[in-house]
A and B are shown apart, each in its own frame.
Chain A
């Protein structure tokens, strides 16, 4: 009899503990790639997010703390979807976020649309996420290929290059970014022409034969559409062949820390690139504070992923406060059009298509006396309003 009494007591205690916990926290599920080369980018998102949370949780949101659980999708859309389902059904998360893979993001987005769960995409770059596949429950917290292409085209159209060559990784991201840059460039400056294209397989290790071929075609400028590990590999080949000194070229994220730091002082100079975050620019108090507190906690400089993670945490906290209670629909209404302070100034979540409005920095790689890796010089900051596709353009895609 005593045994049964104890058993019931323990059971009751567990139920209450669970109940109490449910009431006290806002739970966020993160599905992302935490194995393989993509970790370079996703770890920064996670660290930027936890850094912001540690500040937010000191005060709490609606009297609750924000907690998160992570799942590794191994860069595979089917695993990502399974993990997302598990987080929603078993862990009862209020919000999902994550994925660097666009295929995973689109799969989870589709699931969230059916289940009516808010999903905040933190690194996937496909413009389909908020474009033709966009819906009420999905938000994009970073730039997409369409935006990056438009920003680069805006700057390149003012330069005197006529004959362009396109080269890149033969997969969706490569083609999307290359097409976006060149098509918008052609719109802005009809005089440009495309001499030819070169595509190599993803994970190509030796770029030298491709580079010598492009050199013998003699274009004025090359748009290089590489992603991930290919960024560094291509720059190394450019450095050893002296490619950058003969023909200028552009890569999205060429000026970013993730590309330049692994190469140390040996990275090529004079490479054109765009990025959404540079820890040394703009040299504002907010940015310095963020970079310092990140470096103090994690022992490295923050990359763009850290900014996406940081903004995501603040957006979530502020939206729940504005909503007044933990309710998914109210959260979405509150998040639409919300503005938060960030290390790079105020950023807004555009209400019409759920795409975050980030400025893009255009710069050229250069040696630095201050750091033992190259940094961006001659930086031009392009405000979001000047280069993002309009609401009408995006919403037309959804029909």
Chain B
């Protein structure tokens, strides 16, 4: 182990963090504003990946089809989210969380089966676009260009999120609604609209995460299950409903994993979970302040 391997491991860990952040910020948003513990969030991520595959394979491999894939897929996922929110979730906001949890659990199964009906049970693969193939050398160790691209996209998304939630009227209202829904509606604001938009936005982020990861993984049924666990843990250690908590949680998760692999490769997979346990022992309510 030397300084160059530590540096590459850090960069690779950070790029992994980006996908986790994009997906978990969406979940945190929905959890914070709408108070829905959305188990189906992983399904939106999976649908995003499949849609991006379909769009790029339909248009042929080229850079423009890649860009279309990562923009159109999240939008379609957002639309699906819109219909689910208006059609189902909006009727259950006054009920207990357990009801919402059960409903999202049901949707996770239904969406999984719909994906199977639409795309079949076989796994799909797509290639990274030509301009992002290959790798860059960091002191003799390779970092794939696509990981560097993710490192650029992540902060861009973070800045957009910061802008929306701190500088726009929508963001300010959404934050207020997260704290006190009755008060917000009492001053004459259409809370339903805010809720709907927030849900769509959260789904859009899940879809974007799926579309971004699609070129480097196997797009398959079950990719939602492996992710949802990690995302839930990230949201919990970060502080429920706090987007910056999601970022912090993702950083902890991604980096402990990649350093864990470097330090003790045989048991690398346990490190992020160990970090989660330590965080929860020290700060049981999460690292940053929760909106709950």
Contact = CB atoms under 8 A, between A and B. Distances in A.
Interface string A189-201: 0000000111111
Which of A196, A198, A236 has the most chain B CB within a 10 Å cutoff? A236
B146 A232 contact: no
B148 to A, nearest CB: 11
A232 B13 contact: no
A229 B134 contact: no
Given A209-B9, A229-B218, A201 B269 contact: yes
Range of interface residues on A (Cβ < 8 Å): 35 or more
B12 interface: yes
A318 B275 CA distance: 60
Given A35-B116, A216-B2, A209 B16 contact: yes
B144 A208 contact: yes
Given A203-B222, A232-B218, A262-B125, A212 B269 contact: no
A345 interface: no
Given A200-B268, A205-B217, A229-B220, A240 B133 contact: yes
Interface string B128-152: 1000011100000111111100000
A240 B100 CA distance: 41
Given A37-B122, A213-B261, A232-B125, A208 B268 contact: no
A18 interface: no
Contacts of B269: 170, 199-201
A266 interface: yes
Contact of A242 (B5, B16, B135, B258): B135
A215 interface: yes
Nearest to A262: B125
Interface residues of B, number: 47
Interface in B228-249: none
Which of B16, B120, B265 has the most chain A CB within a 10 Å cutoff? B265
B183 to A, nearest CB: 42
A299 interface: no
A242 B8 contact: no
B218 A198 contact: no
B181 to A, nearest CB: 37
B182 to A, nearest CB: 42
A39 interface: yes
A262 B126 CA distance: 8
Nearest to A209: B258
A209 B257 contact: yes
B127 A264 contact: yes
Interface in B258-290: 258, 261-262, 265-269
A210 B9 CA distance: 9
Contacts of B261: 198, 209-210, 213
A205 B135 contact: no
Given A205-B226, A240-B133, A240-B216, A37 B121 contact: yes
B61 to A, nearest CB: 9
Contact of A203 (B122, B146, B226): B226
A201 B260 CA distance: 14
A209 B152 CA distance: 18
A317 to B, nearest CB: 30
Interface in A216-271: 216, 229, 232-233, 236-237, 240-243, 246, 262-264, 266
Contact of A40 (B123, B128, B134, B223): B123
Nearest to B127: A266
A37 B218 CA distance: 10
Interface of A: 34-37, 39-40, 167, 170, 196-201, 203, 205-206, 208-210, 212-216, 229, 232-233, 236-237, 240-243, 246, 262-264, 266
